[in-house]
Amino acid sequence: MHTFEYHRPATLKDAVAILKKTDNARPLAGGQSLTPALKMRLSQAPALVDLSAIEELRTIKLEAAVLTIGAGMRHSEVAESKDVKIGLPVLAKLAAHIGDRQVRNMGTLGGSLANNDPAADYPAAVLGLGATIHTNRRSLPADKFFIGIYETALKPGEIITSVEFPLPKRAAYIKFKNPASRFALVGVFVAEGGGHVRVAVTGAANSVFRLKDMEKKLGEKFAPEAIAKVKISADKLNSDLHAGADYRAHLISVLAQRAVGEAFGER
């Protein structure tokens, strides 16, 4: 691990000031991805700005049609929150199955989104629900936030402050997980609300993406059989030691149908 300065500011304003003052300084959220990368010298930074003491990033607010979650909320806190369970139970369930207990007790919503691991769970929920990502500078719709593998629309010095989730009529998330890491080999998030349907897939490609052919079919009839014959191309899907592209394409179809069924409360 390379040497670096460590800062733990108490306010967002102070964190932004430190990032602005130090070239290539990195924000540190839960540290579940950045810390191992630093230890293995796959990444380096002259300074780390620990965001864990910033209370303004640690809020959950449930309103009539929107659930807003602070970027500093840990996975376990999202999973156990009464407001999340009431307003968006699918998100509480998703958070409860991220990684293992240690990861859930340290990893954060904002850190996961900023890292944008191709197999992470939160990006599927954010894109599938059409959420809005708020930063210290602006607000970004989910469709414009995720760019590519470990890449987002965030600029240097920009910090995610909260995520605003519109509450759907119904939604479900199903993933086929790697038994060791619990990352998704494929995960499919389906949501209906606001007069439209969204289907987001994680784990299958270089970044989370939507399936608009499925969305169209489900908009006409929200039922598993409506998407049973939708062809999933394997051309741009991942192929690695865990699963081939053709297998992932098959999983997308199967999991999407299961997610639609679960959205109706079926098992």
Q: What is the pLDDT of residue 180?
A: 82
For 170-263, CATH number out of 3.30.390.50, 3.40.630.10, 3.20.20.70, 3.60.15.10 equals 3.30.390.50
Domain ranges for the chain, please list them: 5-166, 170-263
Q: What is the mean pLDDT of the chain?
A: 93
pLDDT at 44: 73
| pLDDT, tens digit (0-9, with 9 covering 90-100), for 177-229 | 988 888 899 999 999 998 999 999 999 999 999 999 999 999 999 999 999 99
The pLDDT tens digits of the residues spanning 35-67 come to 766 677 767 777 889 999 999 999 999 999 999
The reported pLDDT for the residue numbered 267 is 38
**133-188 confidence digits (pLDDT tens):** 999 999 999 999 999 999 999 999 999 999 999 999 999 999 999 888 888 999 99
Classify domain 5-166 at the CATH class level.
alpha beta
Cβ of 220: how many Cβ atoms within 10 Å? 9
SS3 string, the chain, reads: CCCCEEECCCCHHHHHHHHHHCCCCEEECCCCCHHHHHHCCCCCCCEEEECCCCHHHCCEEECCCEEEEECCCEHHHHHHCHHHHHHCHHHHHHHHCCCCHHHHHHCEHHHHHHHCCCCCCHHHHHHHHCCEEEECCCEEEHHHCEEECCEECCCCCCCEEEEEEECCCEEEEEEEECCCCCCEEEEEEEEEECCEEEEEEECCCCCCEECHHHHHHHHHCCCHHHHCCCCCCCCCCCCCCCCCHHHHHHHHHHHHHHHHHHHCCCC
Query: What is the predicted pLDDT for the residue at 36?
Result: 64
* pLDDT band, very low/low/confident/very high, at 114 (cuts 50, 70, 90): very high
pLDDT score, position 202: 98
How much of the chain exceeds pLDDT 90, in percent? 80
Q: Is 40 helix (H, G, I), strand (E, B) or coil?
A: coil
H/E segment holding residue 46: none
pTM value is 0.94
